[in-house]
Amino acid sequence: MKEQLEQISQWIISSRRIVIFVGAGLSTESGIPDFRSPGGVWDRYDPEDFYFQNFVSSEASREKYWQMATEMYEPMKKARPNLAHLAIAEMERLGKLDCVVTQNIDGLHFKAGNSEDKVIQLHGTAMVVSCLTCGKRYDRDEIQERLRKGVKVPYCDTCGGPLKPATISFGQSMPERETQEAYHRSSLSDLFIVIGSSLVVQPAASMPLLAKRNGAKLVIINRDPTPYDDMADLVIHGQAGPIMDSILKEIKKGMDNP
Would you please indicate which residues are annotated as catalytic (active-site) residues? Answer: 123
CB of 192 to Zn ion, least distance (A): 38
Which range binds Zn ion by CB under 5 A, 42-50, 54-62, 117-125, 135-143? 135-143
In DSSP notation, 218-236 reads: EEEEESS--TTGGG-SEEE
**Using the rule CB under 5 A, is 158 a contact of Zn ion?**
yes
Kindly tell me which of 155 and 183 has the beta carbon lying closer to Zn ion: 155
Report d(CA 202, CA 54) in Å as an integer: 23
Q: How far is CA 77 from the centre of its chain?
A: 15
**Using the rule CB under 5 A, is 143 a contact of Zn ion?**
no
Report d(CA 244, CA 8) in Å as an integer: 10
Kindly tell me which of 134 and 201 has the beta carbon lying closer to Zn ion: 134
**Using the rule CB under 5 A, is 131 a contact of Zn ion?**
yes
Kindly tell me which of 159 and 200 has the beta carbon lying closer to Zn ion: 159
**Using the rule CB under 5 A, is 157 a contact of Zn ion?**
no
Report d(CA 66, CA 88) in Å as an integer: 32
Query: What are φ and ψ of residue 88, in 5° steps?
Result: -65, -40
Q: Between 79 and 118, how does the x/- string for binding to Zn ion read (CB under 5 A)? A: ----------------------------------------
Contact between 59 and 139 (Cβ < 8 Å): no
Q: Burial-class residue 229 by CB neighbours within 10 Å (0-12, 13-18, 19+).
A: middle
**Using the rule CB under 5 A, is 201 a contact of Zn ion?**
no
**Using the rule CB under 5 A, is 161 a contact of Zn ion?**
yes
Kindly tell me which of 7 and 133 has the beta carbon lying closer to Zn ion: 133
